[in-house]
Structure 1
Amino acid sequence: MLTRGVMETPGFNPSELAERLAAYDAFDADNDPHGERDFGDLSLWGTDLLWKVDYYDRGLRFGSDDPADPAVTSRVLTIMLAGEW
């Protein structure tokens, strides 16, 4: 999921964003205090972005009872402007 703010950012390039997310390895105590690697921050196009992963049931209505089990979990990646947090 991309917020409207991200999509309207001057220079927005979905391919570049996907490449940067795939290569992301800047986890630290500020953005990953629990070692879950489900949240991060990066700068692109002169803009600070945040991303997070949420774990829902397969119907995308509630939180998953077992986020580690892909049989009962749908993961949703959301990318937003830092100011949208």
Structure 2
Amino acid sequence: MPKAPKGSKQESCAKTPEEQTLIRIRTLNDHLRQSGQGGRIVITHGVSALGRGAFFQIRYAIAQHTRFTNDNDPHGAHDFGTLAYQNLQILWKIDYYDLEMEYHSIDPANSDITIRVLTIMLASEY
């Protein structure tokens, strides 16, 4: 399981249980987004129709995304982003489900009871 490195800014700034939970969620989200591991990746018909090469370019751009701000990531969870691909606006979102994938997870910070799903879609499909 990914962790904040010992002595890192993320670790040293975590003072409350809520901050520690957020850091854990963000770390797990970044792990899925950057490596494709630790969850599932779902694409919409619109993204699929762009072709395999486009998908790989979009996935790479999502993995490399680092421009999280208070405007586009107000909760600090790194669970949503947008990017431009050619003339298209792409959205991506990470959601948290229980192990049966029927309901939202009761604890997204706990990877033992949570399945993360990274959905990639065209903005026009939202």
TM-score of Structure 1 vs Structure 2, range by shorter chain: 0.7 to 0.9
Work out whether 1:54 is the aligned partner of 2:95.
yes
Partner secondary structure for residue 64 of structure 1: coil
Q: How far off is 1:72 after superposition?
A: 0.2
Q: Which has the larger radius of gyration?
A: 2
How high is the sequence identity, in percent, across the aligned residues? Answer: 42
Aligned residues: 85
The answer to whether the 8 A contact 1:12-1:45 is kept is no
Partner of 2:120: 79
Choose between structure 1 and 2 for higher RCO, CA contacts under 8 A separated by at least 6 residues: 1
| Partner Cα separation in structure 2 for residue 56 and residue 42 of structure 1 | 25
Q: How far off is 1:10 after superposition?
A: 7.2
| Partner Cα separation in structure 1 for residue 77 and residue 64 of structure 2 | 17
Task: Name whichever of 30-39 and 46-55 sits farther off.
Answer: 30-39
Aligned pairs (5 A) from 1:1-85 = 1-9=42-50, 13-85=54-126
Partner secondary structure for residue 13 of structure 1: helix
Distance 1:53 1:79, change over 3 A: same
Distance 1:45 1:69, change over 3 A: same
Q: Which runs of 5+ in 1 are unaligned?
A: none
| Partner Cα separation in structure 2 for residue 11 and residue 72 of structure 1 | 32
| Partner Cα separation in structure 2 for residue 25 and residue 5 of structure 1 | 25
Deviating 4+ runs (over 3 angstroms):
9-12
The answer to whether the 8 A contact 1:42-1:48 is kept is yes
| Partner Cα separation in structure 2 for residue 15 and residue 9 of structure 1 | 10
Flag the structure with higher strand content. 1
TM-score, with length taken from structure 1: 0.88
Letter of the 1:82 counterpart? A
